[in-house]
Amino acid sequence: MLMLGLQGDRSYAPVTSMSFNHQGDLLFAGYADGHYTVWDVQRVTAAKVVAEHKAPVVHMLYLGMDSQVARQFNMVSGDSKGVVKSIRFSPSSWLSRFSTSKTSTLLDESTSTVVCASPLVPEEKFGGSSASTSIESMKGGDLLSAEEGVVIFVTHQSALVAKVITTPPEVYGQLPKPDGVREGSMPYAAWKYIVPSHGSAAENVQVMEPATVPLLAIAWDNQVQVAKLVKSELKLYAKWTLDSSAIGIAWLDDQMLVVLTSAGQLCLYANDGIMLVQMLVVLTSAGQLCLYANDGTLIHDTSFAVDGGRGDDVIGHHTHFSNVLGKAHHNCIAVRGASLYLLGPTHLVVSRLLPWKERIEVLRRGGDWMGAFNMAMVLYDGQAHGVFDLPRALDDVRKVIMGYLVELLLAYVDEVFSYISVASGNQLEHLNDSYSVTSEQYTRVGGVAVEFCVHIKRTDILFDEILSRFESVKQKETFLELLEPYILKDMLGSLPPEIMQALVEHYSAKGWLQRVEQCVLHMDISSLDFNQVVRLCREHNLYRALIYLFNKGLDDFRTPLEELLLVFKNSDSENAPSLGYRMLVYLKYCFSGFAFPPGHGTLPPARLPSLRRELIHFLLEDSDAPSLTSLSAIKSYKNLYHLLELDTEATLDVLRCAFINESVVEKDSTPQNQDLTQKTVDVLVLVLETNKSIQPDTNWPSKDDTGHMLEFISHFVSCGEAKVSNEYLGQIFEYLILDASIPANAKIREKEVLALLKVVPQTDWDDRHLLDMCEKAHFYQVCGFIYNSRHQYIAALDSFMKDVDEPIHAFSYIHNLLSDKRLDYLEAAVISRIPDLVQISREGTFFLVVEHFFQEFQHILSELRTHPKSLFLYLKTVIEVYSKGTLSFSSLREGEPRGTRVKNETDDFLERLSEFPKSLRENPIHVTDEMTELYLELLCQYEPNSVLHFLETCESYRVDHCLRLCQEYKIIDGAAFLLERVGDVGSALSFTLSDLVSKFCMLDAAAAQRVDDYAGVDHFSEVMNKEVNDILHIVRTCVGLCQRNSSRLDPNESEALWFQLLDKFCEPLTDPCASKMDSEQNSSGSLKTTWKIRGSDKGALILRKLFSIFIKEIVEGMIGYVRLPTVMMKLLSDNGSQEFGDFKPTILGMLGTYDFERRILDTARSLIEDDTYYTMTLLKRGASHGHGPQSLVCFICNCLVTKDSPSTTGIRVYNCGHASHLHCDPASHTGCPICMPKKKGVRSRGNLLSAESGLVSKALPKHKSQATGAVHLLPQEKDGLDRQISRYEILSNLDKDKKRIVQVDNMPQLRLAPPAVYQEKVKKGVAMLRGESSGVGGLANKMKTGKQIKDLKTKGPAVRFPLKSNIFGKEKTSRR
C-alpha cells in the first residue's frame, strides 16, 4: 500500500477530486484549498504542485497526450465556483518533474457553475501497447484516440461539448436541459467509444478496421439522453425516462450503460445501435439485487447487506460543491470488467454480472429447465446482453457454447425420463390411465428436444442420442409421431434413411399414408435418400409425393406421368377416374408454369417451353397397353386416348394450356410448336375417322365429345397453326353453323367460322352452300364476309346491317368501303339506307355523314322527312353535337369485338372515331331555328318527358310556336314553362293543374281497390306509390311555380295564385254529400269538372288523410310568401262548416313553423343587440379615457402646464406623452410635432380621445369656456358636422384613424343603454349610481356597482352567451 501526502500547511487539506492517466502511473489529485498535485505513483513523489484555484478543486480531468506536440499532455481542472482551466504539461525525464507550458482559463465565475465534467479519453482496447514507466511512457506517446481533448461541461441549465486543446476552443454542440427536469437537479455524464457489432466472423473479415463512435450519456434528474459525436457534430441518439432521479451513470462496456437512481435502483441498459433498455438490475433498500428481462419478468435475484442504507444514502456524496441544491454523487460509481463498484459513506458495494454458463446453471439448479433452455437459445442467437466472457462474433459464440448446450439437453432428458420411470412404477395398479399420462409426458420431453435441436441445428443429436433414449424406454413410436408437426412447419427439413423408413412403416400400419405424403412434400429432397423415398412412395401409392420427388429432385416431369399412366391403365374401374383426373391436374399445372402439388411456387420461365414439348411428345406416343374400348382397333393407340376416353372436354382444355402464347414465350421454336400442334390435330382427326365405323350404341366418343374435338381443331386451324382436309373442314363448318342453337354460343361460333374463313383459302370451301347455312343460322357477319369476297358490296352491307347486336361491323364496313372505293352507286346505296342506319346507331350514322356525306347534309335531312322516327333520332344527334361540341360513341363501342384476330377489322374505324372532334372542327354543324322547331315537334311525339329539359337548355325557338306544339301534344310541364316565361303565371298554373282531376280519379280507384288491405297511411302510400307520387309531383311543381313568381307579383296577385292552388285540393273535401263528379259552367262558358270525396266511398278516410298531406305540402311552401293570418283566414273561411280534423296537422305545422322562425328571429336580434352593446362599450371606453403627460412642462415654451398656471388657456396632450399649451401650438398637426418626424409617417397605434385628432382638451373654468371652447376642424371635415352623426358612427371613427386632428365641442353626449338582459343584471347597480351623492355608504355602493359593470364589460362573450341562453327558458316558462 502506498501513502501519498504532502508535508507542511497543505497536508491537512482534504482531497476533493482525482484522476489517473491511462497507464495508471500518474495520479492527479485536487484539494479543498484550491491546489492540485501530480503524483508519480511508482516513485511515490509529487512531480508537480499547481495552485491555480481559490476554491476546492472538484474536477480533475486527464485528456491524454498531445498528438501534435511530442512529450506533452493536457489536463482540465475546475473548482466549485465555476472556474475551469486548461493546463498543458511537459515532462522532464532527467529531473522526473513536469513544467506547465501553457495555462488558459476556459470558464470563469461570470458563467454558470459547472457541476459536472467528463472527458472523452482514449481507451486501451482502441490504443497500442500498455504503459511501462511514468515519465518514460510519456516520451513514446499515449494511446491513439479518434477525438482529442473533447470535454463535456454541464451546468444546471445546459451541457456544452467542446474541444479544449485548440486555440480558441472549438464548440461541437450544446444540449439544453430537457423539459420536465426539476430545478437544481444534479446532472451526470459519461463517455464511451463503441464498435458496431457484427453478426458473424465472415462479416468481421470484410470490415478489418471497424469504425469507433463516441457515445455520450447524460442523466438529468429522471431523464437519460444518449448522443453521438460524429464528425465533430453532436447528434441526439436516444432518450428515455426513469422511475426516479439518477444519482450516477457509467458505461459497463461499449454496449451497456449503468444508471444508479435515488430509489436504490441500479439500471443496466443495453445499446445495440437501435434500441436501448434491454435489461434492468434493481438494488433495493433491503439489500436485494434483481435481474429483469426486457419484458419485465424476473430472471434472478440475490441478497446482500448494506447496513440499512436507503435511497441516496447507499452511496457517498460530494461535500465541496457550493451553490448546489441537491447532493453531488460524482465519482461514486465505477466499473471494472464485469464488476460494479458503489462507494458508500461507510461501505463499498461490489456486484458483478454472472458468466454465461453460470447464468444457465443457476436456472438449471433452481429447476427452471425451460428458462435455462430459453437462456441458451438467446445466447445461441446472439441476443443476450451483459455477457463478457464470450467472443463478439456470432459464429465464435456458437462454437464456444455448443458443447455445453448438448450436455444441457441430454441432462434434461435423462432427468425427466428418470422421473417418469419412478412415477410410472408407483402407478402400476392404474396401468391404462398411467400409460396415456406417460405417453403424454414423453411427448412433451420429445417436443422440447426436437425444438431445441432444430434451433441449434444439431439434428444429429436428435436422431442419435435422443432417439436411443426413447428406444430404451420403448417410446420410439411416440418420437416418430412428434416429428410430424415440425416437418409440416418446415422446421425439420430432412430425416435419415432409417428414420424415414420407420416413419413410413409406422404411419402405414396405422393407415396414415396421406400424412406421410404431406411430410414428404415439406422435406428437403437433397438431404433425403432419394431411392429409398421413391421406393416407399411406389409401394404405398404416394403419387403426389412421387411427382414432387421427381420434379424437385431430378427435374424430371415425364417419369411420374409414365408411372401414373401405367397405374391408371392397370387400375380397376373405381380407382381409375381419380387417378386420371390427378394426371390432368398435373398436366395443367405443368403447362401453366406452376409447380405440382399446389403451393410450391412456379416453374422457371426458361424451362416451360421445353417442358411443354416434352409432355406433348409423351402424350402423342404410342401406348403399349391399348384400352378395351372401340378405339382399340386403331393401329397406333396414343397415350392421349386414355385421357380423352376419361373426359374429352377436360383433356382438350388442358391441351389448350400447352399452346397458349407459345410464340411469345419462345419465338425460335415456333416451327417445332406448329409441328406439335399439327400432330395433335392429326391424332384427333384419326379419332374422328375411326368414329365413322363405330357402332351407334358405343359410349365413346359421343356426339358431345366429337363436338369438343371439332371445336379444338377449328380453333387451331383458325389460328393458322394446323391444317385439315376439305372433308373435315366442311364437317367443322356444319358443326359450328348448324348446331348453334344457344344464342350465346351462336355468337362465339360465328366468330370462329369467320376466323376460319379468313385463314382457309377460298378454294377450300363452297361459298354457296356455306352462305345458305349462315343465312339460316343468322350468321350475318359471315354472310357479309362471303358477299364481300364475291364483290357483292351492297348485299354485304345489308348483311352487316342485319347484325343489330354488334352494329360496329356495319359502320366499319361502310367506312372502309367508302374510303377505298368512291363509287357513286355505293354512296347512293348508303344514303338510301341512312334511315335504317339511324335506327341501328344514330351516333355511327352521324359520323358517316360528317365523314363522307357532309356536302349532302341537307339532302339527307330532306330524305329523312319520310321517316319521322329516324328523322327524330338524327336531329337529336345533331342538336346534341351542336350543344356539347362532341359526341359519345359508348353505345357503338359496346359492340366492339373482343379478341385480337377480329379486332383488326375495326381498328381503323375505332381510330377514326377517336379523331371525330377534329373532323367536327373542320366541318362545323349549323342548326337553324327551323331544325330546332322540327326537332321539338318530333320530341313531343317520341320523348315527351324530355321536352321541358330541351326548352330550358335551348334558346333558339319561337315561344308561341313551341307553346302551341306543347298544348297540342299535351306536354303540360313544357307548356307551363313557356307560359311562365312569357309572364302568364296564372295560365301556367291552370295548365299544370289541368290533368289533376284524372290523377284524382286514378287515386280514388287505387284506394277503392286496396281498401281492404289498408293498415295506415304510410303503408297505403307505399301500396299506391305511383298514384301518390304523381300527385305529389304536381303539387311540388305548382309550389315551385308560385314561389318563383311571388316576388315579382303584387301581394294580391300572389295570394290569388297561391289560393288557386290551395282551392284545387280543398274543394274535394268541402261537400262529402255531393256527387262524385260535379260539372258547372264557369264565366267563360266552358264546363268545369270538380272531383269530390264522398263520405260513402270505401276509401274516403284514406283519401282525406292523403289530401291533408297534399294540403300541408302546399301550406308549408306558402309560408314566407303569404302572410300567416291570411292563410289562416283562408282555411277558416273556406272550411268553416267542416270538421277540422283533416286540417289539424296542417294548422299545427304552420304554428310550429311560425314559432320556430320567431324564436330564431328573437335569438338573432338578441345576439345582435348584445354584440352591438359590447362593441360600443369597448369603443366608448377606448375614447373616454384620458392621457396623462409625461412631464408638466410644455415642450414648446418650457412653462408649466398645470391648472394653476396663469398662462394656461388650454392644454393639448398627445398619445406619446408630450403636452403643450393651445396658444403655443395653434396649428393643426397630424400628430406630435416632436415624434412625427421620427416615425416617418407610421400611424400611431395608441388610443386617442378626440374623434380624429388624438388630442385631449383639458376642462377650463366656466368663465373661460367660451374662449377656449372653439372648434378646430380640418377643411375637408367642416361639411361633415352639418349633418346628424349617429352614436355608432362617432365611436367607430374614434377607433379608425387617430392621426387626423379635429376638435368638436358640441359632441353629442353618449349614453349607452344595455340590452334587456343586461338591464336586468345591472339594474341594482344603476340605482346605486343615481344615489351616489348620499354619504359614505353611497360611495361604497357606487364603487361596488362600478366594479360589477366593469366585470360585465371586460368578460365579453364568455359572460354574454350564458345569459342569452336563459331567454328561451324564461319565455317558455312564461307562456306556460
What pLDDT is attached to residue 280?
39
pLDDT band at residue 666, thresholds of 50, 70 and 90?
very low
Burial class (CB in 10 A: 0-12, 13-18, 19+), 595: middle
Spatial contact of 1231 and 1218, defined as CB atoms under 8 Å apart = no
Which range of 310-319, 930-939, 1094-1103, 1107-1116 scores highest in mean pLDDT? It is 930-939
Which residue do the cell numbers 486527464 mark?
A: 62
The tally of CA atoms less than 13 A away on the side-chain side of residue 684 is 30
Q: pLDDT tens-digit profile of 1037-1088? A: 999 999 999 888 888 888 888 988 888 888 887 766 656 665 555 554 454 5
pLDDT band at residue 230, thresholds of 50, 70 and 90?
confident
Please state, in angstroms and rounded to a whole number, the distance separating the CA atoms of residues 1338 and 1331.
Answer: 7
pLDDT band at residue 461, thresholds of 50, 70 and 90?
very high
Spatial contact of 1108 and 1146, defined as CB atoms under 8 Å apart = yes
Beta bridge partners of 32: none
**Grid cell for residue 1020:** 297505403
Spatial contact of 1319 and 1363, defined as CB atoms under 8 Å apart = no
Spatial contact of 252 and 386, defined as CB atoms under 8 Å apart = yes
Spatial contact of 339 and 418, defined as CB atoms under 8 Å apart = no
Q: pLDDT tens-digit profile of 626-659? A: 554 555 556 677 889 889 988 999 999 999 998 8
Burial class (CB in 10 A: 0-12, 13-18, 19+), 451: middle
- Residues 6 or more apart whose Cβ sits within 8 Å of residue 756: 714, 717, 718, 729, 732, 733, 736
Average pLDDT for 512-521 = 86
What pLDDT is attached to residue 1228?
58
Q: Check whether 519 has a pLDDT greater than 80.
A: yes
Spatial contact of 211 and 193, defined as CB atoms under 8 Å apart = no
pLDDT band at residue 373, thresholds of 50, 70 and 90?
very high
Average pLDDT for 1277-1288 = 46
Strand ranges of the sheet holding 15-20, from the earlier edge strand across to the other edge: 15-20, 26-31, 35-40, 45-51
Question: Which region among 126-135, 372-381, 752-761, 1180-1189 has the lowest average model confidence (pLDDT)?
Answer: 126-135
Percentage of residues in the chain with pLDDT exceeding 90?
17
Other C-beta atoms lying within 10 Å of the C-beta of residue 1324: 12
Question: Which region among 113-127, 417-431, 763-777, 1352-1366 has the lowest average model confidence (pLDDT)?
Answer: 1352-1366
Other C-beta atoms lying within 10 Å of the C-beta of residue 1355: 11
pLDDT band at residue 126, thresholds of 50, 70 and 90?
very low
Please state, in angstroms and rounded to a whole number, the distance separating the CA atoms of residues 1365 and 816.
Answer: 79
Pick left, alpha or beta for residue 1300 (phi over 0 → left; psi -120 to 50 → alpha; otherwise beta): beta
Q: pLDDT tens-digit profile of 292-316? A: 333 434 444 444 445 555 444 567 7
What end-to-end distance do the CA atoms of the chain give, in Å? 103
Percentage of residues in the chain with pLDDT exceeding 70?
71
**Grid cell for residue 255:** 454496449
Of 524, 664, 543, the C-alpha closest to 593 is 664
Spatial contact of 629 and 641, defined as CB atoms under 8 Å apart = no
Q: Check whether 1193 has a pLDDT greater than 70.
A: yes
Regarding predicted confidence, which is higher, 131 or 945? 945
Spatial contact of 258 and 340, defined as CB atoms under 8 Å apart = yes
Please state, in angstroms and rounded to a whole number, the distance separating the CA atoms of residues 1201 and 1204.
Answer: 8
Q: Check whether 368 has a pLDDT greater than 80.
A: yes
Q: Check whether 285 has a pLDDT greater than 80.
A: no
Q: pLDDT tens-digit profile of 870-885? A: 999 999 999 988 888 8
Question: Which region among 249-258, 719-728, 820-829 has the lowest average model confidence (pLDDT)?
Answer: 249-258
Q: pLDDT tens-digit profile of 555-588? A: 999 999 998 888 888 877 677 888 889 999 999 9
pLDDT band at residue 617, thresholds of 50, 70 and 90?
very high
- Which amino acid type is present at position 1344? K
Of 186, 183, 216, 160, the C-alpha closest to 318 is 186
User: What backbone torsions phi and psi does residue 1122 show, to the nearest 5 degrees?
Assistant: -125, 140
